[in-house]
Amino acid sequence: MVAKENQKHNLLMPFLLCILLLMVSPLFLGIENLTEIETAKVLEYYVVFISVILLPAVFLPEQDKDIRDLLSSKYMPIAKLYSIRIIQVLIYLMLLLGVYMYLLKAGNCTFAFGRVYMGELATMVFLGGMGIFFYALTDQVVVGYMIPLLYYMLNITISPNKIKAFYLFSMSIEKYEWKWTLGIAGVVFLAVGIVIRSKRK
């Protein structure tokens, strides 16, 4: 019930926007006959944006304080509600990423599917989780979207050696082990974001 209502009233437009973003990618990127490093660049530099679109949307209904007060008065703990929403978004991200990577494989791209899939998923959870965390911290939707984008731009301009395991594009330089740090940090961002947002009145 929660997931159905969330899809209908909250996630439909962001989800459709993500699909559109992926569908138009051939207009900007080559997605055929790619090596693993080239595939990683497509995923890390472009596809990762769907996480920034979808994950911060988890808190959008509660921008209206009346809705927040109403939900707080219901029998279901607000933290559980947020957790269900986030799990739903993560499932969508996993499906979208899987389908997109399948199409890359169909386009004769050469890469280790499981390794690249998990690496990109870790990046998505980190960047989207960062949006969740700062949205919860500031109660400002703009901040929830802007901080991940600013961090993305920082990663473009800074040397990987300066931020090491927190470098977003580590698969592009064949540092797959760094993705563990991003994934764990992303889960922490999500969990702390839920806690902060649940306590907000």
Q: For residue 81, is pLDDT > 90?
A: no
For residues 150 and 153, give the distance between their C-alpha atoms in angstroms, rounded to a whole number.
Answer: 5
Percent of the chain at pLDDT above 70?
A: 87
Q: Stretch 159-165: mean pLDDT, rounded?
A: 92
The per-residue pLDDT for 187 is 97
Q: What is the pLDDT of residues 23-79, one digit of tens each?
A: 999 888 888 999 999 999 999 999 999 999 999 888 877 665 655 555 555 656 888
Across the chain, mean pLDDT equals 89
The per-residue pLDDT for 182 is 96
Residue 93 Cα distances to 11, 18, 71, 138, 164, angstroms: 12, 9, 26, 25, 25
Q: What is the pLDDT of residues 95-129, one digit of tens each?
A: 999 999 999 999 999 999 999 999 999 999 999 99
For residues 40 and 137, give the distance between their C-alpha atoms in angstroms, rounded to a whole number.
Answer: 31
Q: For residue 155, is pLDDT > 80?
A: yes
- DSSP H helices, the chain, are 2-6, 12-23, 25-28, 36-42, 49-54, 65-72, 78-106, 113-138, 141-157, 160-163, 179-199
The per-residue pLDDT for 9 is 58
Percent of the chain at pLDDT above 90?
A: 71
Q: Stretch 161-185: mean pLDDT, rounded?
A: 95
The per-residue pLDDT for 80 is 85
Q: pLDDT grade, residue 194 (50/70/90)?
A: very high
